[in-house]
Amino acid sequence: MFRLVRKNGLSYYVIDSFEKTGLVKHCFTTREGGVSENEYKALNLRFNCSDKRENVLKNYKIICDAIDVDYKKLVISKQVHEDNICTVTIEDLGNGITKENRFTSADGLMCNETGIPIVTLYADCVPLYFLDVKNKAIAMSHSGWKGTVKNISAKTVQKMIDEFNSKPENILAAIGPSIGECHFEVGDEVAYHFMEMPCGVIKKYGEKYHVNLQKTIENQLLSVGILKQNLTVSGICTFCNSDLLFSHRKTNGKRGNMAAIMELI
Ligand SMILES: [Zn+2]
């Protein structure tokens, strides 16, 4: 499960199955515990918005201190709703935090070196975590509806197989907080992509279609060989929990970002 940890006014989730391995430091952040104000209140991890850069840096330091990660080493993604997954090495340390973000398109990051904390960002889209416990490699990917249609979840697993010689049965996977079926109403132009998928991922609420992204991704991961017992599905809706979590839809886009952070120890 995704378990909420609260300490000194800061809140973040950890994934029990990942924590138990002792192989990674990781979290999924919430809004609680940062220094940003107004729509960014409080733990905003989004640069390139009207929040002050110094606030965002402070927020990164606060959460990284709590999980014992050096925030100056963070390697931040460049999310453009595509399906590129970039391999990160020691050369990338500080990418997007102490130096310019070198990525042009990176909705997924992966790494098999220790000491490199990777970061992906969210506010309704689905965070995905992967950990190969045997070959010791990690990956994270950002699966919004577009990424889900592009099957970035399965592509991430495939890339771990290709680059790290991973076997799906050795990979722990987790699907984090995102907008739930309860609140993800979509127009016909989005709905039709999901109609050909296994049943249960799209439903009609009255006249409107609602898509269940977490369920769609669960199906995708099981079909590439991730074992059910190795898969954690959070079931947490960002819109339903918008006091704790940033939700793009709930706030009409006036919001900060949460982050998924993970580092191989
Ligand atoms: Zn909801």
193 Cα: distance to centroid of ligand 1 (angstroms): 21
108 Cα: distance to centroid of ligand 1 (angstroms): 25
149 Cα: distance to centroid of ligand 1 (angstroms): 21
238 Cα: distance to centroid of ligand 1 (angstroms): 7
109 Cα: distance to centroid of ligand 1 (angstroms): 28
Q: How far apart are CA 115 and CA 112, in angstroms?
A: 10
103 Cα: distance to centroid of ligand 1 (angstroms): 32
Q: How far apart are CA 172 and CA 235, in angstroms?
A: 17
Share of residues in the chain with pLDDT > 90 (%): 98
205 Cα: distance to centroid of ligand 1 (angstroms): 13
258 Cα: distance to centroid of ligand 1 (angstroms): 17
Strand 258-264 and strand 2-7: the pairing is unpaired
Would you state the structure tokens that stand for residue 115, as one six-digit string?
Answer: 């000491």
The helix (run of H) or strand (run of E) holding residue 76 is strand 75-76
Sort 108 into a burial class: Cβ within 10 Å, 0-12 / 13-18 / 19+. Answer: buried
Give the pLDDT of residue 199: 81
At the fourth CATH level, which superfamily is domain 2-179+232-264?
Answer: CNF1/YfiH-like putative cysteine hydrolases (3.60.140.10)
Q: Looking at 35-44, 91-100, 199-208, which range is the least confident one?
A: 199-208
97 Cα: distance to centroid of ligand 1 (angstroms): 32
The dihedral sign for the CA sequence 215, 209, 257, 235: negative
Q: Could you tell me which residues come within 8 angstroms of residue 174 by beta carbon, excluding any fewer than 6 positions away?
A: 2, 15, 17, 18, 128, 129, 231, 232, 233, 234
φ/ψ of 67, rounded to 5, equals -105, 15
**pLDDT at residue 80 above 90?**
yes
18 Cα: distance to centroid of ligand 1 (angstroms): 25
Q: Is the pTM of this model over 0.95?
A: yes
Average pLDDT taken over every residue of the chain: 98
What is the mean pLDDT of the segment spanning 6-34?
97
63 Cα: distance to centroid of ligand 1 (angstroms): 26
CB atoms within 10 A of CB 165: 12
Per-residue DSSP letter, 123: S
250 Cα: distance to centroid of ligand 1 (angstroms): 10
One-letter amino acid for residue 202 of the chain: I
Give the pLDDT of residue 112: 98
Cα angle 238, 72, 81; round to 5:
40
Give the pLDDT of residue 66: 98
Give the pLDDT of residue 25: 98
φ/ψ of 25, rounded to 5, equals -100, 140
For residue 259, give the nearest of 6, 112, 9, 44 by alpha carbon. Answer: 44
Q: How far apart are CA 169 and CA 228, in angstroms?
A: 10
Confidence of residue 214 (pLDDT cuts 50, 70, 90): very high
Give the pLDDT of residue 231: 98
219 Cα: distance to centroid of ligand 1 (angstroms): 20
Give the pLDDT of residue 5: 98
What is the mean pLDDT of the segment spanning 198-216?
95
Give the pLDDT of residue 263: 98
pLDDT digits (tens, 9 = 90+) for 95-116: 999 999 999 999 999 999 999 9
94 Cα: distance to centroid of ligand 1 (angstroms): 35
254 Cα: distance to centroid of ligand 1 (angstroms): 18
249 Cα: distance to centroid of ligand 1 (angstroms): 10
Q: Which long-range contacts (CB under 8 A, 24 or more apart) does 66-71 make?
A: 66/7, 66/10, 66/12, 66/27, 66/33, 67/12, 67/25, 67/26, 67/27, 67/261, 68/25, 69/25, 69/117, 69/261, 69/263, 70/117, 71/97
184 Cα: distance to centroid of ligand 1 (angstroms): 7
Confidence of residue 198 (pLDDT cuts 50, 70, 90): confident
